[in-house]
Amino acid sequence: MDVTAFSNDDFVVKDWINTMFECTEAQQDKEAFVSSLVMKLQLYVQQVNGSLEETNQLILSSLPRIFRDIQLLQQEAVALKDKMKIVKEEIAKVEKDTVLSINALEKIDKIKTDLEHAKQSLHEADNWTVLANDVEEVFESGDIESIAQKLLSMQKSLSMLVTASDYEDKKLQLEGLKNRLEAITSPKLVQAFTSRNLENSKFYVVIFNKIDRLDQLLKYYHNCLKVILTDEWRKLSEFDQEDGGITNLLHKYYDKLLLEFQNQTKWCNQLFPSSSITIIINIYTDLFQNLNSNLENCISSSLKQHSVAIQLSLLLELKQITRNFAMNLQNSIQVFDYKASDDKLKLLAQAIYYPYVNYVAKYDIYELAHLNDQLKNLHLSNDDLSEYINSLSLSISKTLDFATQSIKRCETFTEGCGFYQSIQALEKFLNNYLDNYIDCINIIKRRYNSNKQGKYEDWNLFQQCLTLMQTIGDFYKQFEDFQRILMSNITETYEKITKNDNSPFKDYKSLLLTKDNMKNYDQLIVKVKNRKIENFENVTEKIRKLCIDLHSVTYDVVFLPIYQQLITIKNVPTWSTSAQSTLTTSHLWDLPDYSFSPQEYITQVGQYLMTLPQHLEPFLLRDNPSLIYALKAADAQYNSASESGFTGVLLGIIAKGTCQMFQDQIFGICQLNLVSCKQLAIDINYLGNIFDELGLVLSDNLQQMSKLLRLSPEEYQSGCSGCNPRIVAAVRQMRNIQSSG
């Protein structure tokens, strides 16, 4: 039986028993198998017990020997401790006895060292004298390598003569000799750099490095490459003045710089492996800083050859060329795994973009000129009012498309940092565009004033007013949508700029903006986050004023026929003394209302009011969100109306004006007798019936006036109770009723 399972850490009795009963013997006779298994386990237990007893006996017999060994180890440890104490005491005694001898040895060693230094100094001083005497002969030979070796030896000697009294004189003498060597080698050095002779260049690098003049050699290399690239600009400038323009010049020169950067970094890396990229970056930074003035003059001269409207397109093209160059240059630098500080890259990027800083600051001027030129091309002005309004309606999408394109141009030219200037330009552009609506309204006003002299209804002008109102509302809605999109765009661009401000070539905020413009841009971002752009609020306010002004003109146009009828009330013959005396007043006063007919002036007003809904129907009784938008901006009364109730609001405004003018004109009647009072009350009631048909309500003052006109002189005092005192007094005066008070 295998009992190894008992020693496992995960031994489970149940599993072991199940395993044992899987054998064939257990299946044949389980009871016999169990008895056999129990017997075997008992035997194993006996064997284990016997083994344990034997092991215990062995351990007990070994304990005395173990105790003896432990005692011996303790004794040896005590003896070792005593010996170590004795040795420590002996060491301390030796140190005390030999301290004077050691100090003496140290002094002797120092004296020896000083003597050796003195000997070396004397040797080097003697060597300096020999070298100084021989150096002239070496210079006369013209062998640069020998001269450099001689100067290197003199430099080594001078390092040993630091404490000499004439050290400074010797140092000046050596510097003078180095200057002579530099003067001799500079022409050949420049030639080697210019011709890219790697072998000769390496030779001079070694020499200048040995004599501690490597920085001076780097200046030669810096100036050589800078002169080469500057001459290339001059040649291209002269050629392109005859053959092409500034765009062609920049394309060619930037291509040349990129190619030269690749070549120079590889070549320079063989001379200065640890600093080649830094050297080339410094050279390019210096090159751009010196060329920027010339480049600005070239751009300025090219811009003067074009109209102001075209100048922005040229600037966009030039800026895009420069941006592509900057990105390509950045990629070229990254290829070499450049690890220098970002400050050098930032200086390079600033030098590249510097010519555009002033143009970004004046971006609103160029953008506004471009937008105004596009606005002129719309040819909005027209003598025919209908065509003028139609052209304005068709121009809305184009105008806001111009504004959208303006934002895209701003993102391209200023990388989104010039939104402040762009919005200023857009404000002026949109105001210029809205001036066309003002012109259109002025034409309507002139037409209205012309109609005022006549006696006819101009429904065509009324429809043109509503059409223009709808057009303004359409522009208003689309302009607000444009504002939302713009603010979202500004926010996204700002996040992108903030994300990239750690990249020297993409930190456009510091590359393209002056301090003042940067401040303006930050203020704009705060306003956008608060959903508020003051420039556009000014435009919105102008649109609202247009709506209010046009609504007022529309009201005047609609009200004109009513005005022309009501203005005649004072001159109606019914109120005259001669008309009043034709019949006995007491007889007519007793006649019922149906015996009287409304007079012509009020029937004309009533007929006109009844025709208004059918003229309003094409505009207000159908879904017309643009017109509704404009009406709400024009008058707060429209805000509380449903879409189907805008006709009622406009009719209500007209009804209110009708009642007010009717009342004012009645006040102008000098005198009324009983018959006239009855007739005027009938006229007022007729207007009230017309209002009922239209779903309108006659004003309280007119209702009170009708009531007061029907009262007999005897009933007047008691019947006027609860009426407007002003109305009561006016009617009493017209009727010449004496006040009892």
pLDDT in tens, 352-374: 999 999 999 999 999 999 999 99
In this predicted model, which residue has the larger pLDDT, 206 or 182?
A: 206
The whole-angstrom separation of Cα 36 and Cα 23 is: 14
Q: Is 491's pLDDT higher than 50?
A: yes
Interior/surface letters 570-594, b for 16+ CB within 10 angstroms, e for the rest: eebebbeeeebeeeeeeebeeeeee
Residues 240-257: what's their mean pLDDT? 79
Of all helices (H) and strands (E), which one includes residue 418?
A: none
Report the candidate in 402, 404, 386 with the shortest Cα–Cα distance to residue 443: 386
Q: What is the pLDDT of residue 276?
A: 80
The whole-angstrom separation of Cα 711 and Cα 717 is: 9
Residue 137 near residue 173 (C-beta atoms within 8 A): no
Q: What is the pLDDT of residue 324?
A: 94
pLDDT band, very low/low/confident/very high, at 143 (cuts 50, 70, 90): low
Residue 702 near residue 724 (C-beta atoms within 8 A): no
In this predicted model, which residue has the larger pLDDT, 25 or 129?
A: 25
Q: Is 227's pLDDT higher than 60?
A: yes
Residues 559-570: what's their mean pLDDT? 88
In this predicted model, which residue has the larger pLDDT, 309 or 160?
A: 309
Q: Is 532's pLDDT higher than 90?
A: no
Residues 137-159: what's their mean pLDDT? 63
Residue 719 near residue 732 (C-beta atoms within 8 A): no
pLDDT band, very low/low/confident/very high, at 658 (cuts 50, 70, 90): very high
pLDDT single digits (tens) 270-280:
888 777 888 88
Average the pLDDT over each of 170-184, 469-483, 502-516, 715-729 and give the range with the smallest value: 170-184
Q: Is 223's pLDDT higher than 70?
A: yes
Q: Is 721's pLDDT higher than 70?
A: yes
pLDDT band, very low/low/confident/very high, at 435 (cuts 50, 70, 90): very high
The whole-angstrom separation of Cα 349 and Cα 339 is: 16
Interior/surface letters 337-365, b for 16+ CB within 10 angstroms, e for the rest: ebeeeeebbbbbbbbbbbbbbebbbebbb
Report the candidate in 285, 529, 514 with the shortest Cα–Cα distance to residue 414: 514
Q: What is the pLDDT of residue 323?
A: 92
Q: Is 182's pLDDT higher than 80?
A: no
Cα-trace Rg, the chain? 55
pLDDT band, very low/low/confident/very high, at 132 (cuts 50, 70, 90): low
Residue 675 near residue 588 (C-beta atoms within 8 A): yes
Residues 646-670: what's their mean pLDDT? 88
Residues 394-402: what's their mean pLDDT? 94
pLDDT band, very low/low/confident/very high, at 171 (cuts 50, 70, 90): low
Q: What is the pLDDT of residue 456?
A: 63
Q: For the purposes of burial, counting CB atoms within 10 Å of the CB of 259, is it exposed (0-12), middle (13-18) or buried (19 or more)?
A: exposed
Report the candidate in 674, 664, 679 with the shortest Cα–Cα distance to residue 712: 674
Q: What is the pLDDT of residue 156?
A: 64
Average the pLDDT over each of 8-22, 48-62, 384-398, 412-426 and give the range with the smallest value: 8-22
Of 4-8, 525-529, 680-684, where does the model show the most confidence? Answer: 680-684
CB contact set of 572 (below 8 Å; sequence gap of 6+)? 599, 601
Q: CA geometry: angle at 57 spanning 54 and 58, to 5°?
A: 90
The whole-angstrom separation of Cα 34 and Cα 28 is: 12
In this predicted model, which residue has the larger pLDDT, 108 or 285?
A: 285
Q: Is 177's pLDDT higher than 60?
A: yes
CB contact set of 359 (below 8 Å; sequence gap of 6+)? 299, 315, 366, 413
What 3 state SS string does 113-133 have?
HHHHHHHHHHHHHHHHHHHHH
Residue 599 near residue 574 (C-beta atoms within 8 A): yes
pLDDT single digits (tens) 630-652:
988 988 888 876 655 677 888 88
Q: CA geometry: angle at 437 spanning 432 and 438, to 5°?
A: 85
Q: What is the pLDDT of residue 686?
A: 93
Residues 437-460: what's their mean pLDDT? 83
In this predicted model, which residue has the larger pLDDT, 140 or 550?
A: 550
Q: Is 455's pLDDT higher than 70?
A: no
Longest dimension (CA), the chain: 166
Q: What is the pLDDT of residue 173?
A: 63
Q: For the purposes of burial, counting CB atoms within 10 Å of the CB of 404, is it exposed (0-12), middle (13-18) or buried (19 or more)?
A: middle
In this predicted model, which residue has the larger pLDDT, 402 or 338?
A: 402
Q: Residue 340: helix, strand or coil by DSSP?
A: coil
Residues 501-516: what's their mean pLDDT? 85
The whole-angstrom separation of Cα 565 and Cα 605 is: 7
pLDDT band, very low/low/confident/very high, at 741 (cuts 50, 70, 90): low
Helices (H), 506-533: 508-512, 515-529
DSSP-derived letter for residue 583 is S
Average pLDDT of the chain to the nearest whole number:
82
CB contact set of 185 (below 8 Å; sequence gap of 6+)? 144, 204, 207
pLDDT band, very low/low/confident/very high, at 339 (cuts 50, 70, 90): low
Q: DSSP letter string over 468-488? A: HHHHHHHHHHHHHHHHHHHHH
Residues 418-433: what's their mean pLDDT? 93
Please give the distance of CA 364 from its chain centroid, rounded to a whole number.
17
Supply 148's token pair.
């450099």
First to last CA, the chain: 141
Residue 208 near residue 216 (C-beta atoms within 8 A): yes
CB contact set of 530 (below 8 Å; sequence gap of 6+)? none
CB contact set of 40 (below 8 Å; sequence gap of 6+)? 1
DSSP-derived letter for residue 597 is -
Q: What is the pLDDT of residue 269?
A: 82
Q: What is the pLDDT of residue 668?
A: 86
pLDDT band, very low/low/confident/very high, at 166 (cuts 50, 70, 90): low
pLDDT band, very low/low/confident/very high, at 625 (cuts 50, 70, 90): confident
CB contact set of 557 (below 8 Å; sequence gap of 6+)? 444, 448, 451, 458, 461, 462, 465
The percent of residues above 70 in pLDDT, for the chain, comes to: 84
Q: Is 75's pLDDT higher than 60?
A: yes
Q: What is the pLDDT of residue 699?
A: 92
Average the pLDDT over each of 37-41, 187-191, 333-337 and give the range with the smallest value: 333-337
The CB density around residue 125, as the number of other CB atoms within 10 Å, is: 16
